[in-house]
Amino acid sequence: MKDSIQNLPSLFGSMVFNEETMKERLSPSCYKEWKKSVTDGSPLELSTANEIAEAMKQWAVEKGATHYTHWFQPMTGFTAEKHDSFISLNDEGKVVMEFSGKELVRGEPDASSFPSGGLRATFEARGYTAWDPTSFAFIKENSLCIPTIFCSYSGHALDKKTPLLRSMDAVSKEAVRILRLFGDTATHRVIAQVGPEQEYFLVDKKVYNQREDLIMTGRTLFGAKPPRGQELEDHYFGAIRPRVAAFMQDLDTELWKLGVLSKTKHNEVAPAQHEMAPLYTDANAACDQNQVTMELMKKVADRHGLVCLLHEKPFAGVNGSGKHDNWSLATDSGENLFRPGSTPSQNAQFLLFLTAFIKGVDEYQEMLRATVATPGNDHRLGAQEAPPAVVSIFLGDELSGVVDAIIRGEVYRDAGKRNLQIGVDAMPPIPMDNTDRNRTSPMAFTGNKFEFRMVGSGLSVSGPNIVINTMMAEELSRFADELEKSDDFKHDLNKLIRRELTAHQRIIFDGNGYDESWLMEAKRRGLANSTTSVDALPAYIMQKNIDLFVRHAIYTKEEVHARYKIHVENYIATIAIEARTMIDMLRKDILPACSRYGMKLCEGYEKRKALGFPCKYEEENARNNCMLTDCLNDACDKLERDMREVPADPENAMHYCRDVIIPDMDECRSYADQLETITDKGAWPFPVYSDLLFSER
């Protein structure tokens, strides 16, 4: 390990067939054709694909790979792989290692068991994977993984990568139009940049294996609050314990090999909670790498006798885990378009992009909320530890002051008491760190990017970034349409910025998002407050959202409806699995254990009473045990009955799960958790929160 860290520059990306490796192993003409394909989107000639495939195979075999797989991201939220070996038989019947351009460029996995949302019938199994030449192939567990898109026989996108790539193209096209208006003729492409911070929990594998709920659902369905949680605030940024430090070091090494820019690691707020943050990269690579990161976190944890939990809320009453999606735009020369800058022209350009973002978030707030809508995230959002379910934007004191001055048509007075006109020629310089951070905001400006804090720990970041890219493409397109016709650019630019900031200032909120008064204020402003996935998911099929995606060729109408259907089905399935697991644990573990313990208390009380020394503790505890056990049994009976009545219609079933099944489960948990607090620890059937939260030590 020590040697590998000392050789970090050579270790980094060593298992990635990256551009440097391609330049070394491909002919100049082949390398040039690949670069042209990446920058222009032009298709590769078969001869070029064959040369890349041969070089890729030779490199992979030298690294110990025996198989290859088209690595794709179906609409399960996870990745998928079908592995084929390189071996083939030559004319003499001998085994040789082969890999062709055709095998590189296209694959045909069975698509019948992947979610499609009705885009194809179950019996229609054919699906296609196609190489994404903008994503580098990598080696994982002796297999060459080739990042691909995934589509149906009819051409419908069945994955998360395809619409993400479409959205990146859309926002690039419209952003370049805007840059041309400011005299930038050098930029040919604008790239969406993303850096997803990843929170997670670590628990000991031995205690994890004793919890059916963790195994089946990723969260604890039962559990009373432990004597100590995060009250002392001593875990956040605290010294990392040796066992966790060893895991983190091992994880970093594996991530660095795969070219993942793992930068920061630290303890998070809750006991057993931690965070890993990467450097920013293009949205496509960032989304790919975050999927790899989540997979490796689980595998590396296993090596250390730990289990990594990526559920948004594995422990009730304890902070849950999110994923902060840091998003920005940069030109192909590296200029960050959300960096305020220090010159007037840069600030005018920045303010136009900022205005587009504010307008987009306001107009498509429901869609942004829908991208993070899952049963797990329902437990987290609005829980005084994560952003509320209301989408808003935090700008900070100075930038908010600039925006307010523009809206009022007044002179902006900065902290230095200078009077600055709001115009193209005299925009005020805005420092990057112009204000404190607001961790209660769902969408916070943090100097040169926006941090979308609503994403759940286990979610793919593709969904939110698809929407952010698309809404930006929409607003920039509208701005470009207007300004390209202008005869007085300066005047019309200022008019546009003031008009749109005035129209959409309701989405800007710099206060405490945890305060109840904000929810009332948000309602007064007309902002959406979708507190559950059931409220949020219909945004997928709102006509304005369908029109947005279709207009920019991100999704077809059928693809949008398919994704809505998949999310609804996932919600129902998740709640059903949790309910069935809860019933199983109650019938086989908790109720029998409580009954035995109650009998033990009663027998003890009767024996002492016969001796003339009745025990008040045993009498009261036996009475409480009997009462709560009966209540729990009745609640379990009701949950079982109601589970048999789940409607067949998916939308009705989704509402039924929220309105009937979840309250049933809450009642069961309430009685079970009360029983846990009065039951002898040796009699309780599985590890409790104290065991789980402090098991990594």
> What's 396's domain CATH number?
3.30.590.10
Length of the chain: 697
pLDDT tops 60 at residue 122: no
pLDDT at 105: 82
pLDDT tops 60 at residue 496: yes
Q: Are residues 627 and 653 in the same domain?
A: yes
How far is 257 from 299, CA to CA, in rounded Å?
15
- For residue 545 the two structure tokens come to 């959202």
Q: Are residues 408 and 533 in the same domain?
A: yes
pLDDT at 89: 61
pLDDT tops 80 at residue 141: yes
How far is 381 from 371, CA to CA, in rounded Å?
13
The more confidently predicted of residues 65 and 609 is: 65
pLDDT tops 50 at residue 103: yes
Point out which residues pair with 394 in neighbouring strands: 444
DSSP state of 151: E
Domain housing 376: 167-555
Q: What are the residues whose beta carbons fall under 8 Å from the beta carbon of 269, sequence distance 6 or more? A: 230, 233, 235, 236, 319, 385
pLDDT at 119: 74
pLDDT tops 80 at residue 126: no
pLDDT at 262: 93
When the pLDDT of each residue in the chain is averaged and rounded to a whole number, the result is: 90
pLDDT at 429: 56
Query: For residue 322, what is the enclosing H or E element?
Result: strand 322-331
Closest to 357 (Cα-Cα) out of 453, 181, 258, 479:
479
Number of domains in the chain: 3
pLDDT single digits (tens) 604-623: 878 888 888 788 888 899 99
- For residue 656 the two structure tokens come to 């039924």
- For residue 224 the two structure tokens come to 């009373």
DSSP state of 261: -
Contact call for residues 448 and 336 (beta carbons, < 8 A): yes
- 10 Å Cβ neighbour count for 526? 8
How far is 81 from 126, CA to CA, in rounded Å?
15
pLDDT at 426: 44
The mean per-residue pLDDT over the stretch 134-145 comes to: 94
258 belongs to a structural domain:
yes
Whole-model pTM above 0.75? yes
pLDDT tops 90 at residue 234: no
- CA distances 535 to 116, 295, 307, 538, 694, Å, are 22, 30, 33, 7, 36
562 belongs to a structural domain:
no
3-state secondary structure 269-311: CCCCEEEEEECCEEHHHHHHHHHHHHHHHHHHHHHCCEEEECC
Contact call for residues 255 and 8 (beta carbons, < 8 A): no
pLDDT tops 80 at residue 513: yes
565 belongs to a structural domain:
no
284 belongs to a structural domain:
yes
Q: What share of the chain has pLDDT > 90, as a percent?
A: 70
pLDDT tops 80 at residue 658: yes
How far is 338 from 217, CA to CA, in rounded Å?
40
The mean per-residue pLDDT over the stretch 380-408 comes to: 88
Q: Are residues 405 and 294 in the same domain?
A: yes
Q: Are residues 42 and 22 in the same domain?
A: yes
Quickly state the pLDDT bin for 156 (edges 50, 70, 90).
confident
Closest to 370 (Cα-Cα) out of 117, 545, 217, 550:
545
Closest to 247 (Cα-Cα) out of 178, 285, 302, 290:
302
Query: Coil, helix or strand for 63?
Result: coil
Of 115, 141, 158, the last residue of a domain is: 158
Q: Are residues 219 and 239 in the same domain?
A: yes
Closest to 692 (Cα-Cα) out of 217, 228, 197, 199:
228
The more confidently predicted of residues 239 and 324 is: 324
- For residue 137 the two structure tokens come to 């192939």
Q: Are residues 174 and 100 in the same domain?
A: no
- CA distances 96 to 46, 56, 144, Å, are 22, 16, 17
pLDDT tops 60 at residue 34: yes
- 10 Å Cβ neighbour count for 36? 13
DSSP string over 471-527: HHHHHHHHHHHHHTT-SSHHHHHHHHHHHHHHHHGGGB--S-TTSHHHHHHHHHHT-
507 belongs to a structural domain:
yes
Query: Coil, helix or strand for 216?
Result: helix
pLDDT tops 90 at residue 584: yes
How far is 684 from 631, CA to CA, in rounded Å?
18
pLDDT at 110: 65
The mean per-residue pLDDT over the stretch 536-563 comes to: 97
pLDDT at 419: 46
pLDDT at 232: 66
* Backbone phi and psi for residue 578, each to the nearest 5 degrees, phi listed first: -65, -45
pLDDT at 660: 98
Contact call for residues 328 and 452 (beta carbons, < 8 A): no
pLDDT at 417: 45
pLDDT single digits (tens) 362-378: 999 999 999 999 999 99
The mean per-residue pLDDT over the stretch 573-599 comes to: 97
Instruction: Provide the greatest CA pair distance for the chain.
Output: 103
Q: What are the residues whose beta carbons fall under 8 Å from the beta carbon of 193, sequence distance 6 or more? A: 280, 281, 282, 283, 286, 327, 328, 329, 330, 336, 449
Of 130, 158, 186, the last residue of a domain is: 158
Strands 127-131 and 143-152 turn out to be antiparallel
Quickly state the pLDDT bin for 41 (edges 50, 70, 90).
confident
Q: Are residues 614 and 596 in the same domain?
A: yes
Q: Are residues 547 and 625 in the same domain?
A: no
Q: Are residues 226 and 340 in the same domain?
A: yes
* Backbone phi and psi for residue 672, each to the nearest 5 degrees, phi listed first: -65, -40
How far is 575 from 655, CA to CA, in rounded Å?
11
Q: Are residues 481 and 374 in the same domain?
A: yes
Mean pLDDT lowest for which of 29-43, 422-436, 533-547?
422-436
184 belongs to a structural domain:
yes
- 10 Å Cβ neighbour count for 576? 15
> What's 66's domain CATH number?
3.10.20.70
Point out which residues pair with 195 in neighbouring strands: 326
- Looking up tokens 């979840």, which residue turns up? 662
pLDDT at 288: 96
616 belongs to a structural domain:
yes
pLDDT at 269: 86
- 10 Å Cβ neighbour count for 130? 16
Q: What are the residues whose beta carbons fall under 8 Å from the beta carbon of 171, sequence distance 6 or more? A: 190, 192, 329, 469, 470, 472, 473, 476
Contact call for residues 351 and 209 (beta carbons, < 8 A): no
Q: Are residues 86 and 141 in the same domain?
A: yes
How far is 160 from 75, CA to CA, in rounded Å?
6
Of 158, 181, 199, the last residue of a domain is: 158
Mean pLDDT lowest for which of 164-168, 255-259, 413-417?
413-417
Q: Are residues 339 and 230 in the same domain?
A: yes
> What's 581's domain CATH number?
1.20.120.1560
The mean per-residue pLDDT over the stretch 452-465 comes to: 96
Residue type (1 letter), 580: R
pLDDT single digits (tens) 405-455: 889 887 766 655 444 444 444 445 555 455 556 678 999 998 899 999 999
563 belongs to a structural domain:
no
